[in-house]
Copies of this chain bind each other. A is one copy, B any other.
Amino acid sequence: MAKLRLDISISLDGYVAGPNPTEEEPLGIGGEQLHEWALELEAWRSPHGLEGGVVNESSRVMEESQAGLGATIMGRNMFGGEGSWEEKPWDGWWGEEPPFHMPVFVLTHYERAPLVKDGGTTFTFVTDGIESALEQAREAAGGKDIAIAGGADVAQQFLRAGLVDEMQLHVAPVLLGGGRRLFDNLEGANLVLECIRVVAAPGVTHLKYRIGS
């Protein structure tokens, strides 16, 4: 069966964003360091329309995490904006041709008509919770896997509900000392983890876990 996959960059002390996020530093103080390993990769730059970049042990990890996906789920903050759409009918961070090239389901408290973008990305706004988002994503994915793109709150909701099949942590060798922890708010989840693949790469260690319960 198609898997629900969580791929997320995390500091060695467990944060997926640093403290004190602002408009200039949306990932919080030091948070950008979590993604340096990815941003320098050709395998990341190419689908984002950028030239150049390096090829290293992280390249196949990145390619693999993008392969076999039929839909993506993300939180409202990751899509962009806050509050009701009437007040701020913004189309999010992702520009006219978002890098997803697949159906994206955005968890939000505010109803909104789907947003069709160039290159195959359609944002569908889901107001009735994670299980509904997953059901719609499964239907849209046509048998392919589904990615949880983040952020931490959405990841925690899916982990707590025991719905995540596979989790890959991209562990950056930094201590942020504060911010958003991935493994918070998981009371009662009782997840059983098995490490199924480890890749050491420049500036990051990739740890992949199968999740049972």
Contact = CB atoms under 8 A, between A and B. Distances in A.
Interface of A: 12-14, 169, 171, 173-175, 177, 183, 186-187, 189, 191, 193-195, 197-198, 200, 205, 207, 209
A194 B173 contact: yes
Given A13-B14, A173-B194, A175-B183, 19 more contacts: A12-B183, A12-B193, A13-B183, A171-B207, A173-B193, A173-B195, A174-B193, A175-B186, A175-B191, A175-B193, A177-B183, A177-B186, A177-B187, A177-B189, A195-B205, A197-B200, A198-B198, A198-B205, A205-B207
B14 A209 contact: no
Contacts of A171: 207
Copies of this chain present in the complex amount to: 2
A119 to B, nearest CB: 36
A197 B205 CA distance: 10
Contacts of A193: 12, 173-175
A183 B189 CA distance: 23
Contacts of A174: 193
A195 to B, nearest CB: 5
A173 B192 CA distance: 8
A155 to B, nearest CB: 13
A199 to B, nearest CB: 8
Nearest to A197: B200
